[in-house]
């Protein structure tokens, strides 16, 4: 294992040349922002944040965060207005655009490096007015707490998580954030000790010292805010992948846990049972559209299961040119035309009469051994594509689709076999849906 870890360490630590290049970009971005903030008396300071300044960034993932600190008395509307203006004015040469968290922030790309210009309030510890207010405290805490060797252990853990598709706190991923990796290394001491601990993780296990109770699969307490559970943002799927990947690495260490290799075992039969709902959406923040797509896919799963179809897995994905895809792996694309419906107990007179009256003309009925009236009903649709087409075309308001997507779907949608989707990222999402990850789900 030590040999594998040392090999992985070399992949995770950026070269001196790359570090110098990133420093130049960071200084350029910082100076451009600092030049703009001098125009506004409401701003108390500018500082770096995130993995760049903490020295925990990966060679292929090196965002630079520049935080603009506002007086805590500034109104929310002005806070957003001024921060966006500074972001766009400072990054105007680099095609800036708006991203959204709790508040909007500006992002641009300088020489291949993403630069985020993020607003926050200049507050005392614990007196948070926005989610971003904690970030400067996170930065200072980690700069004081992480040793040089521990920073490289963070990079190693990030590399492990990234290659196994568990890294990233954005809503599209709901994985392990960069800050959480730092907290884990600080708590356990090294990458290897984190892996050992996660491989033996118990349900609702607490990492850190909370001041109140939480109920999530993993509970990770923010060192600078004991009321905050960092584990709440991590999906059960990501927790599960982290545990299984840790066990698999302990059982059979391999560089493939850190270095991208073609590992999925695709089940072609499942591909035949996978369909996609494709539509175009009106341009909006990636964070907003991802949340809407996830909710839309979950809502359609509920509707399909009510219609008698068994959905095994589902996913939402964004493609090129504002295309969205809702993907579903179905047990069977076609099901029986008839299904058994259970009615009331015969001792409930009014309910029994109502049920009989309602079903007497079109359904075969009988009394079951459990005293309940049973009827054989015909399904509205027994083909899943026709079911979804009817639902989205004629019953969209009852589908559970988020309001923000209804206009997009109403305008135009297509239901297609998933094997016919186009675009690299869409095909990869389909492959992941119908495959087994041979690295983390094999101990042989």
User: 73-89: per-residue pLDDT in tens?
Assistant: 999 999 999 999 999 99
With 70 as the cut, is the pLDDT of residue 442 above it?
A: no
Q: Do 433 and 299 share a structural domain?
A: yes
Which residues have a Cβ under 8 Å from the Cβ of 36 and sit 6 or more positions away?
Answer: 85, 86, 89, 90
| pLDDT score recorded for residue 264 | 61
- Asked if residue 417 and residue 274 are part of one domain, the reply reads yes
Cα(55)–Cα(154) distance, integer angstroms? 9
- Band of the pLDDT at 258, cuts 50, 70, 90? very high
Q: Is the pLDDT of residue 260 over 90?
A: no
Considering the domain architecture, whether residues 296 and 431 belong to the same structural domain is answered as: yes
Q: What's the distance, Cα to Cα, between the start and end of the chain in Å?
A: 16
Q: Is the residue at 443 inside a domain?
A: no
pLDDT at residue 131 in the model: 85
Instruction: Classify residue 54: in a domain, yes or no.
Output: yes
Same domain, 185 and 67: no
The answer to whether residue 95 sits within a structural domain is: yes
**Model pLDDT for residues 208-239, shown as the tens digit of each residue:** 998 899 999 999 999 999 999 999 999 999 99
Q: How confident is the model at residue 292 (pLDDT cuts 50, 70, 90)?
A: very high
Which of 70, 102, 132 finishes a domain? 132
Measured CA to CA, the distance from residue 40 to residue 34 in angstroms comes to 11
CATH at 318: 3.30.70.590
In this structure, are 212 and 272 located in the same domain?
no
- Check if the beta carbon of residue 421 is closer than 8 Å to that of residue 278: yes
Phi/psi-derived region of residue 64, left when phi > 0, alpha when psi is between -120 and 50, beta in every other case: beta
In this model, does residue 437 exceed pLDDT 80? no
Best CA proximity match to 33, nearest among 134, 106, 95: 106
Q: Are residues 203 and 298 in the same domain?
A: no
Mean pLDDT of the chain: 92
User: For residue 226, what pLDDT is reported?
Assistant: 92
Q: Is residue 6 part of a domain?
A: no
Output the domain CATH number for residue 167. Answer: 1.10.1410.30
Q: Are residues 187 and 281 in the same domain?
A: no
Task: pLDDT band for 428, please (50, 70, 90 cuts).
Answer: confident
Average pLDDT over residues 252-268: 77
Phi first, then psi: give them for residue 324, nearest 5 degrees: -120, 145
Q: What is the CATH number of the domain that holds 68?
A: 3.30.460.10
Asked if 288 and 362 sit in the same domain, the reply is no
Residue ranges of the alpha helices (H) in 72-204? 76-90, 135-145, 148-163, 178-188, 191-199
Whether residues 345 and 236 share a domain: the answer is no
Q: Is 216 a domain residue? A: yes
- pLDDT at residue 99 in the model: 84
Give the range of the structural domain holding residue 387, as residue numbers without chain letter.
268-334+382-437
Position 87 in a domain = yes
Over residues 344-387, the pLDDT tens digits come to 999 999 999 999 999 888 789 999 999 999 999 999 899 999 99
| Residue 394 within a domain | yes
DSSP of 77-107: HHHHHHHHHHHHHHTGGG--EEEESSSEEEE
Q: How many structural domains are present in the chain? A: 4
Of 238, 257, 276, the domain-final residue: 257
330 and 421 inside one domain: yes
Give the HSE-up count for residue 355: Cα atoms under 13 Å, Cβ half-sphere. Answer: 22
pLDDT score at 441: 65
Determine, yes or no, domain membership for 444: no
Residue where a domain stops, chosen among 257, 287, 321: 257
Residue 444 pLDDT class (50, 70, 90 cuts): low
Question: Predicted confidence band at 269 (pLDDT cuts at 50, 70, 90)?
Answer: confident
pLDDT value, residue 440 = 67
Regarding whether 163 and 196 lie in a shared domain, the answer is: yes
3-class state of residue 322 by DSSP? coil
Same domain, 293 and 241: no
Q: Dihedrals φ, ψ of 404, to 5°?
A: -65, -20
Q: How far apart are CA 369 and CA 367, in angstroms?
A: 7
């Amino acid at each position: 294992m030590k040999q594998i870890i040392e090999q992985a360490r070399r992949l995770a630590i950026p070269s001196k040349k790359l570090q110098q290049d990133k420093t130049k970009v960071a200084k350029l971005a910082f100076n451009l922002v600092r030049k703009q903030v001098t125009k506004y008396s409401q701003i108390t300071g500018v500082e770096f944040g995130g993995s760049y300044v903490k020295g925990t960034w990966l060679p292929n993932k090196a965002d630079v965060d520049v935080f603009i600190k506002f007086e805590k008395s500034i109104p929310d509307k002005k806070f957003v207005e001024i921060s966006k203006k500074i972001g766009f004015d400072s990054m105007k040469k680099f095609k800036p655009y708006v991203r959204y968290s709790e508040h909007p922030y500006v992002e641009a790309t300088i020489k291949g490096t993403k630069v985020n210009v993020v607003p926050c309030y200049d507050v005392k510890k614990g007196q948070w007015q926005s989610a971003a207010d904690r970030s400067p405290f996170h930065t200072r805490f980690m700069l004081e707490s992480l040793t040089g060797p521990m920073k490289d252990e963070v990079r190693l853990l990030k590399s492990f998580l990234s290659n196994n598709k568990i890294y990233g706190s954005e809503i599209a991923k709901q994985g392990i954030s960069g800050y959480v990796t730092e907290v884990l290394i600080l708590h356990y001491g090294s990458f290897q000790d984190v892996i050992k601990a996660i491989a033996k993780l118990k349900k609702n296990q607490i990492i850190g010292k909370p001041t109140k109770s939480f109920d999530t699969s993993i509970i990770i307490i923010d060192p600078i805010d004991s009321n905050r559970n960092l584990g709440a943002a991590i999906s059960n799927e990501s927790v599960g992948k982290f545990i299984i990947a840790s066990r698999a690495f302990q059982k059979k260490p391999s560089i493939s846990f850190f270095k991208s290799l073609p590992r999925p075992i695709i089940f072609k039969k499942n591909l035949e049972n996978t369909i996609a709902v494709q539509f175009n959406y009106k341009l909006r923040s990636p964070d907003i559209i991802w949340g809407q797509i996830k909710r839309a896919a979950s809502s359609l799963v509920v509707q399909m299961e009510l219609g008698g179809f068994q959905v095994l897995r589902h996913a939402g994905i964004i493609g090129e040119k504002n295309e969205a895809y809702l993907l579903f792996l179905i047990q069977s694309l076609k099901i029986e035309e008839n299904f058994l419906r259970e009615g009331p107990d015969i001792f409930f007179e009014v309910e029994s009469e109502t049920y009989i009256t309602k079903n007497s003309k079109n359904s075969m009925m009988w009394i079951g051994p459990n005293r309940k009236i049973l009827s054989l009903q015909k399904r509205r649709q027994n083909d899943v594509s026709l079911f979804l087409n009817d639902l989205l075309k004629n019953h969209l308001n009852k589908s559970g689709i988020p309001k923000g997507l209804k206009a997009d779907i109403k305008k135009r949608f297509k239901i297609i076999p998933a094997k016919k989707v186009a675009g690299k990222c869409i095909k990869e999402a389909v492959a992941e849906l119908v495959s087994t990850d041979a690295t983390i789900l094999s101990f042989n």
